[in-house]
Structure 1
Amino acid sequence: MKTYLENIKTKYFTIVIMFLFFSNCTNTTPLEGETQKPTITQWHLVNVSGGISGVNIDFELGTIIWIFDINPNNYTDLLYVENNNEDDTIEDGLDHGPYPTSTTIAGDKIFLFVDSEEYGEFIYSNDDKLVINQNNRSNGEQGSDGYIYTFERMVVPLE
C-alpha cells in the first residue's frame, strides 16, 4: 500500500508528464517584428492494429484527431475526439465527442484512463509518435486481443 507521500509524488509526476506530452500550446520565441500565433497540438490516428481478428488499418491524416486538454490546476483533464470515419465496420477507437481522462503510473509505464476505464499503456516517442497499447495493463497483465493505436503529432495554428 502506498503512503500518502508516495501518492502525492505519483499524482505530481503524472501531471508533469501529461502536461509535457500534451500541452496544447507551444512556446516558441517569435522573430523580431513577428507576433506569436497560438497553436494547438493534435494527435492524428494513423493506424489501428491487433484485436481478435488481427486488423491492420491505416487512416489518412485528419480522419480521426485527438486533442488532450490537460489542466494541472484543477484536474479536469479532457480528451476531445474528432472522428470523421464513416465506415462503422472498422475499428477506429473512440467516437466523436469529449471524454474525461486521467493517467496512472505503474512501475515506469504510464496508463491512460478514458471515462474512468483503463484504455491502455501510453507510449510517447521523441519522433512525434504516440502509441496506446491495450495489450498492456496497469496491473501487469498482458493481453493479446487488444488494439494498438498509433498517432502522429501535428501542431497547427489556431484561427
Structure 2
Amino acid sequence: MKRNFLILALLFFAGFIAGCENDEDITPDQQLNGSWHLTNVSGGLAGVNIDYKKGEVKWDFDPKSGNLTIENLIDSTGPEDIYAGLDSGTYPYEIRQEGDAQVLYIDNSERGILTIVDNTLKIDDGLIADGFITQFER
C-alpha cells in the first residue's frame, strides 16, 4: 500500500512539474503571435479614453514572416479613427530588447513598450506626461 501511494505521488509530482510552464522559455514573438483586437486607447494631455468594439481594429502578428497584418475598419474621421493607429495593410515588425523592456517597432518606427499579461496586450509609448497606452485583447 505504501509503495502504491509512493508511485502515485511520484506520478502526480512528475505531471505537475511537466505541466508548469516557464515564462522565460517563451519568446516575445511567441507571446505576440496571432490576432489581437484593439479595445482601448487612453492617455495624452487631453485625457483620451476611447473604447473599441471587437473586430473594428485587428492586428495579426506572424513571427515566422516578421509581418503584422492590420485590419482597420474604422470609417469615421473622428477621434476613433485618429487614435486607432495604422491603416489596413501589412507591415514588417520586430521586438527589440532595450534594457528591461521589450520594445515594438513597426515599419522601423518605435511604437512602444510591450506588456502581455494573460490575453491582454498593452503598448505604452513611454512618454510619461502625455503618452498613450494602446490596449488589445485576444
**What TM-score do you get using the length of structure 1 for normalisation?**
0.64
CA displacement at 1:103 relative to structure 2: 1.2
- Once residues 88 and 144 of structure 1 are traced to their aligned partners in structure 2, the CA distance between those partners, rounded to angstroms, is 26
- Once residues 116 and 57 of structure 2 are traced to their aligned partners in structure 1, the CA distance between those partners, rounded to angstroms, is 18
Give the aligned length.
110
* Alignment of 1:85 onto 2:95: no
Q: Per-residue displacement from partner, 1:95-145 (whole Å, max 9, x unpaired)? A: 11111111111222100001101100010002x0000001x2xxxxx4322
Alignment match, 2:133: 148
Alignment match, 1:112: 104
CA displacement at 1:47 relative to structure 2: 0.3
Larger Rg: 2
Q: How does 1:64-83 map to 2 (within 5 A)?
A: 64-71=57-64, 76-83=65-72
Which residue identity lines up with residue 109 of structure 1 in the other structure?
A
CA displacement at 1:146 relative to structure 2: 2.2
Q: Secondary structure at the match of 1:21?
A: helix
Which residue identity lines up with residue 42 of structure 2 in the other structure?
S
Gaps of 5+ in 2: 1-25
Q: Percent identity?
A: 36
Is the CA contact (8 Å cut-off) linking 1:129 and 1:150 kept in structure 2?
A: yes
CA displacement at 1:52 relative to structure 2: 3.3
Alignment match, 1:3: none
Q: Secondary structure at the match of 2:59?
A: strand
**What TM-score do you get using the length of structure 2 for normalisation?**
0.74
Gaps of 5+ in 1: 1-15, 24-40, 137-141, 154-159
* Alignment of 1:124 onto 2:116: yes
Alignment match, 1:62: 55
* Alignment of 1:46 onto 2:39: yes
Q: Per-residue displacement from partner, 1:6-54 (whole Å, max 9, x unpaired)? A: xxxxxxxxxx62332133xxxxxxxxxxxxxxxxx31000000012322
Which residue identity lines up with residue 116 of structure 2 in the other structure?
Y
Q: How does 1:89-104 map to 2 (within 5 A)?
A: 89-90=78-79, 91-104=83-96
- Once residues 149 and 119 of structure 1 are traced to their aligned partners in structure 2, the CA distance between those partners, rounded to angstroms, is 10
Is the CA contact (8 Å cut-off) linking 1:47 and 1:57 kept in structure 2?
A: yes
Is the CA contact (8 Å cut-off) linking 1:69 and 1:77 kept in structure 2?
A: yes
